Structure 1
Amino acid sequence: MTDDIWPEDYWGFLGMPAQQKENPMYTGIEAIAAERKRQIEAEGWTPEHDDRHVSAELAQAAAAYALNCCDNSDGPELRFMGADIWPWSDFWKPSADPICDLTKAGALIAAEIDRLLRQRGGFT
């Protein structure tokens, strides 16, 4: 990958073999769990941090990443809608790899589910 947000070896960065992209050795759920762990440990996006996002921002960010995976046959307007729904003021720069974007989307969905469960008192 060449964009500035993603490390050159994204899969290695997640603690997975570098060949993950070409020869998947992990399932999608394992990649999502590894990304969520990276978000917490490397980015500091802890449950306490997530609890401050009370207006579905985590779900919106997940949707933005998921929409980026639409190709032109799905309608180019869908792909670029991600930037329109990005919930934060900082610039959104998705990766060129749909698997990476879907992995981030899945991790953000998991974070939002956990936040909602904590809010209900059903998860700590």
Structure 2
Amino acid sequence: MKPAITLINEERIRQAFDEGYTPAHDDQHTNGELAYAAASYARNHDALPGIKNGDYAPPKWPWKREYWKPTPDNRIRELVKAGALICAEIERLQRLEEKQNTNQTV
């Protein structure tokens, strides 16, 4: 069994290379979209079968429904996606902070 952090890192790499969600792409999401998406995957949707099965996206889902890709029979997979999205948001904020710090020292 792989450690959770390894699964999250592998998913983050997959998102970047297979889906094209690179740091430059992530930097465009400045209104909390990555965090909202992470929360959507982290939330247990058992009481809402339409969301759980992908018929429609959760209320706070930041993008088109077609990008909502739940894995209802694999809770770990959904949490891994959530973790990778949180990682993407943290990295985005770190890049922004670094850029702001660089601009202040110039």
**TM-score, reference length from structure 1:** 0.67
Q: Deviations over 1:52-88 (max 9, x none)?
A: 0000100000000001x354xxxx26x9596111101
Mark the runs of 5 or more structure 2 residues left unpaired by the alignment.
100-106
Q: Distance in 2 between matches of 1:90 and 1:84?
A: 10
Structure 1 residue 61 corresponds to structure 2 residue 37: yes
The CA deviation at 1:93 is 3.4
Structure 1 residue 40 corresponds to structure 2 residue 50: no
Identity of aligned residues (%): 48
The ranges of structure 1 where at least 4 consecutive aligned residues each deviate by more than 3 angstroms after the TM superposition are: 79-82
Find the counterpart in structure 1 of residue 62 from structure 2. Answer: 87
The CA deviation at 1:90 is 3.1
Q: How does 1:15-26 map to 2 (within 5 A)?
A: 25-26=1-2
SS in 2 for 1:116: helix
Q: Distance in 2 between matches of 1:26 and 1:70?
A: 25
Which one scores higher on RCO, CA 8 angstroms, separation ≥ 6? 2
The CA deviation at 1:33 is 0.3
Find the counterpart in structure 1 of residue 76 from structure 2. Answer: 99
**Aligned pair partner of 2:5 in 21, 26, 29:** 29
The CA deviation at 1:89 is 2.1
**Aligned pair partner of 1:117 in 84, 94, 100:** 94
Number of residue pairs matched by the alignment: 92
Find the counterpart in structure 2 of residue 8 from structure 1. Answer: none
The alignment's C-alpha RMSD in Å is 2.1
Q: Distance in 1 between matches of 2:93 and 2:11?
A: 19
SS in 2 for 1:54: coil
- State the one-letter code of the partner of 1:53: H
The 3 A distance-change label for structure 1 pair 27 and 70 is farther
Q: Distance in 2 between matches of 1:109 and 1:88?
A: 16
